[in-house]
Amino acid sequence: MADLTQEEWTEELQNDKNAVVLDVRTEEEVDEGYIPNAINIDIYKGQGFLDEVEQLDKSKNYYVYCRSGKRSAQACMLMKQLGFENTNNLLGGFMEWEGEIVED
């Protein structure tokens, strides 16, 4: 797992053809806005989170975020235990995100 600053995250994401953005926040949080093209799997689902993550392609590079960076760091560790090689945690999370946002 790599902890990436906003700048590193944005730069790596733009240059990564194998990238998947994963939002591990709750549905209510996602309703307030999210990073474009993000897949949402709520880490608070517990076993449901693990079951859904297990369906993802382990060969991809995952860019994981939550509200502040704590849940996403936890998600990256869980994903590593499930056999995911490349996970990147967004330091500061969505609260500090200055990039593009999609609002429903």
Active site residues: 66
CA 34 – CA 51 distance, rounded (Å): 22
Residue 95's closest CA among 8, 14, 25? Answer: 25
Q: Contact at 8 Å (CB) between 34 and 40?
A: yes
